[in-house]
A and B are shown apart, each in its own frame.
Chain A
Amino acid sequence: MIELKQLSKKFGDRWALRSLDLTVSHGEIFGLLGHNGAGKSTAIGMMLGQVWPTAGEAIICGHDVAENRPRALHKVGAIFETPVFYDYLSGWRNLEILSQYTAPTAPARMREVLEWVGLTGREMAKVKTYSHGMRTRLALAQALLPNPELLILDEPSDGLDPEGIHEMRETILRLRHELGLTILLSSHLLNEVEQLCTRIAVLNQGVKVFDGTLEQIRQSRLGWVRLNVGDFTAALADLCAQQLVTDARDGSHVILAPGVRTDALVRRLVEQGMPLFEIVHEEQTLEGFYLDLMKKKEEPVVPVQG
């Protein structure tokens, strides 16, 4: 559905995005992560033909956006952070206006979508009377009107209260399960991405520093093993000497050497007569992984390809 090839954008002297390669397959919920200014919105802008690439290609639904934007975006819906509308018009009128930029839309279809997003009964009220949550639902309705196959959500939970964030999360899952949409979700809410996405890419200062599945993250070599022993320092010295662990932190966590499993540690510690109370292979959380990636931003990038 989405294929970005060496996509780059330079604003003046500053690279907003550098050589981004990205593939999002049909049916995925793909997360685009990164801090503010990392290049997420620039990448989305180029996918939608709003920002011209300095180099590279954005291919959406099989069409190059720069060459054939109308065809590329024919089955695409998008929502941006802080949804804006023509406040002085009704929600219904807004939907009519926006949908006509894609194709004429039957009133029955509009009613169906309004029902789906839960705005039935309020569609004739002026948008200026809508709450933030209702605006978000209206934004979702306008994105769904053209019967999209791909939905691009740029910070959709921005500004929502906890209930709103929860509702948005549920809605995104419904979009995938009930409508079978492919979704690209740009966010800096790690918890949201962790709960929704099957695969993610992380951008840092315009450069992709990770691309892979959440499972890969959980299993990644960055995962720590919590070790509760009588004398951590002595245990660590012995395990290091045996080349069973490569790193340690907090007086309680170690990183296993490549190919080493926890049973090898248990065996060694027991053989050495060191009291072992607990050993837990901690799954890497997305938050921990993300923060580690950000710390490593000065180091050469070694992407994990999913």
Chain B
Amino acid sequence: MFWLQLRGELWKLFGKKRTYIGFGMFLLAQTIVALVFRFSNASREMVRTLEGNSYVANYYVSSLTIATIMLFPIAYMLLPLYVSLVGGDLVAKEAEDGTLRMILSRPITRFRLLFVKWLAGVLFSLLLVAVLGFTGVASAALWFPWGGMFVFIPGEVFSVFGPADGLFHFTIAHGMLWAKAVTVMGLAFMFSCFNVKPAAATVLALSFVFLNFILMNIPFFKEIQHWFFTYHLNLWQGMLVEPIPWWKVGSSLIVLAAFNITFFLIGSTAFQVRDIKS
């Protein structure tokens, strides 16, 4: 019966048009970035950096490299937006519409209902990240050849990979991006369990993420960056360097797991004690 209930939640989730906004916007953003790199001299700086380090630039100005470049702004800005939009809707929208009252006239426990909804949000996050990776490579491949992967973040990352290695790192980076997506979705889901409007849950979650991000980047807090939520959300970037800092990634995964459990427990406690009224 659990799987039937999960299937029902997925039907509800994917039956709504707004669920697909994220997919559409990702494709749009990726297409724009690919076109900008293809038809402008935006890649000139990258070529100069590669040649300055004795690499054959043409080999690395590839679909994988462009897909990775477009990944950064999307992962930082758009992904949190769309997963929190869905996470914020999961409970609060049903409460607002009145369907929650219909559900809770049935013999399902509130905890189980929340767990099924949260799991649907996790699956949505997985699909969103998988589509993000696939459409990133696909839209870049329309304009750029297959080749090596170059990742450059001034002062932080300088990585070059062959095509196979590059694809491997690109793929596992998306695996870790899923952890980020699930956590931000879980944060919005937690707010959604309170007696708030869906939009408020989304805005609260995004505010929490962006506030953490801003504080983390203030030089004063540089030494204690690892205490910030967003520091651990960026674990996916660790997959784009060689060797992968597994210890750091592992500790971030544990911290995110703890955050997820905490968010769920706070949300379910708030939901448990709530009165559901028309």
A interface list, Cβ under 8 A from B: 11, 41-42, 45, 48-52, 69-74, 76-78, 80-82, 84-86, 88-89, 93, 96-98, 100-104, 142, 146, 152
Contact = CB atoms under 8 A, between A and B. Distances in A.
B273 interface: yes
B98 A101 contact: no
Nearest to B17: A88
B15 interface: yes
Contact of B278 (A41, A69, A85, A102): A41
A24 to B, nearest CB: 17
Contacts of B107: 69-74, 76, 101-102
Interface string B77-119: 0000000000000000000011101111111110001000000
A98 B275 contact: no
Q: Which 5 pairs between the two chains have the least Cβ-Cβ distance?
A: A78-B105, A101-B106, A97-B8, A84-B98, A70-B107
Interface string B112-155: 01000000000000000000000000000000000000000000
Given A100-B8, A103-B1, A142-B102, A84 B276 contact: no
Contacts of A88: 15-17
B105 A89 contact: no
Interface of A is mostly: loop
B80 to A, nearest CB: 25
A82 B101 contact: no
Interface string B23-49: 000000000000000000000000000
Q: How large is the interface on B (under 10, 10 to 19, 20 to 34, 35 or more residues)?
A: 20 to 34
Contacts of A89: 11-12, 15
6 contacts: A45-B276, A70-B108, A84-B97, A84-B98, A96-B8, A101-B107
Contact of B104 (A48, A72, A85, A146): A48
Contact of B109 (A42, A69, A102): A69
B17 A50 contact: no
